[in-house]
Structure 1
């Protein structure tokens, strides 16, 4: 697999790194210590790979709260017709500590690649998965 970063992907990465930081602020201006299911947790896209019509994205988070929100937020930025797999891991974990995996079929090509219906999403958290405490 060969990773390629297009100008569009670079712009998406900038948005992914900058927008969530403001989304995780409470109304009083202090950082949220425990995100509620309606608050976007901080996350980082650490890897994007492209192989034909398949795309693989790895995201890191520091909490198991709001994983579906993270997946949905990443998916809103995926616009190229392709089949996407989004893997959500604990930040800084080695080896990877997988928390959830999501798939997204953008267009007919994405449906062919993922086996999902056109523009359908699938999200599967790993049962019992947790991030290690520091």
Structure 2
């Protein structure tokens, strides 16, 4: 079998590749792009500055509480890991870590619940704006 030399491979250019594609069954077998022109009809709702501020505050609060939930959950997991793999832990740490671990797990659940509640209240506010909007 006769393999091509490196010079033959290096001399391949786009014209010779295009000629090879055109020679396969007389037409191109490559991909074909067909643009589709679409449109949409977005709905606009009248939102007051006060309502917009409320929705923004709900977003900030839910983000804060979900972040705190992740922090406390990570702390709880880290403390459990440290307690499991550390052999010579001081007595004070051995006594305190279980309480801190349980406390941080409880705080994680509470923060998650508050974040979920705030997010729910935000959705209620947005639904109220949508339901109060009327078409002319």
User: Into which bin does the TM-score normalised by the smaller protein fall?
Assistant: under 0.3
Higher helix share: 2
TM-score, structure 2 as length reference: 0.24
TM-score by length of 1: 0.25
Specify which structure has the bigger relative contact order, considering alpha-carbon pairs within 8 angstroms and separated by 6 or more residues. Answer: 2
**Considering only CA atoms, is the larger Rg found in Structure 1 or Structure 2?**
2
